[in-house]
Chain A
């Protein structure tokens, strides 16, 4: 007897937050799995350790101050490790600050959320943004592309066309979230169907 059970790993939000990104159909999820509506408090940020990037080769565009890394690209900082095939970083210079790092192809992120729980994320593309505006730090990672982004935090799993991880507020938000259906089969079965995964119809 087959038992159909639903693994819906993301709480769907009734109301989408915009956060200035003009995004719709967002499902904000806190690190604890509940909805969040955090407000900025101007808490002082801790001093950051440097971010390191390793790669087989790189091209420095001196006109636009962009570096493109290719081959076994690895990004390491104390809070996150990222691997991918190609990565482009804007070089901070002459008063300008690093504003984004774009990783493409086979993106894998290993990190911890604000509760110290491991976060494993995969996607076809990831955009890391870091901005300090009026002394307020904004730090996000936007996952998208093909394969579609998946964030696995052990006890729950979030998938969607786009997932935005607010590293400061420690929230995950999905655009066009996906859910996973898995059919339980007999242990001795040899033709077990693969889990089905499809976008949630709104």
Chain B
């Protein structure tokens, strides 16, 4: 199991994720990687471009993460959060499970996905998704459903 943990951490190192942060459970005080994998998993997927390169743009969180073959990491109760350049939360995507490709820095799942803006005006759900880092696109494969709430002003109706 110790070897597994070392490999797990090496995967991120090979991908050049210098700022990768494992948020440990409070009781342990540091990342917990055992038979159940890592708890309270957090991994920044990308930062904003210059001049805001220090700000995380996309953050992947999960209650649990387990190393899979081929450099994949299975993340349970996943949350993908998108932040603005000043650190304000803009978007949250929820998935019961997803696979993180540690080399391509992409996230994918055949399961359900729910996306909501922080202000609650936009909600999107679907089945099966792929979030790539190369073009910043989130692809939802099946049964897409969106709810948009418009905020009315005064009507110019005569």
Contacts and interface: CB of A to CB of B under 8 A. Distances in A.
Contacts, number: 141
Nearest to B146: A53
B137 A55 contact: no
A69 B142 CA distance: 11
Interface string B129-158: 000000011111111111111111111111
B124 A132 contact: no
A43 B157 contact: yes
Contacts of A47: 152
A169 B118 CA distance: 33
A52 B91 contact: no
A168 B156 contact: yes
A52 B122 CA distance: 10
A202 B13 CA distance: 70
Contacts of B155: 42-45, 136-137, 168
B17 to A, nearest CB: 20
Nearest to A58: B144
Contacts of B147: 50-52
Give the contact-size bracket for chain A. Answer: 35 or more
A54 interface: yes
A117 interface: no
A62 interface: yes
B126 interface: yes
B146 A89 contact: yes
- Describe B's contact surface by its main secondary structure: strand
Interface string B51-64: 00000001000000
B156 A52 contact: no
A54 B143 CA distance: 7
A60 interface: yes
A39 interface: yes
A38 interface: yes
Contact of B117 (A57, A93, A168): A93
A92 interface: yes
Interface stretch (B27-35, B65-73, B82-90): B82-90
Contacts of A137: 152-156
B154 A169 contact: no
Interface string A90-124: 01111101100000000000000000000000000
A54 B156 contact: no
B82 A54 contact: no
Contacts of A54: 144-146
A132 B144 CA distance: 28
Contacts of A98: 121, 148, 150
Nearest to A64: B136
Interface of B: 58, 82, 84, 88, 90-91, 115, 117-119, 121-122, 124, 126, 136-158
Nearest 10 Cβ contacts at the A-B interface: A132-B153, A38-B158, A40-B156, A60-B138, A45-B155, A45-B152, A53-B146, A58-B144, A137-B153, A135-B153
14 contacts: A38-B157, A39-B158, A45-B154, A45-B155, A50-B147, A50-B149, A58-B146, A61-B137, A91-B117, A92-B122, A93-B121, A94-B118, A135-B153, A137-B155
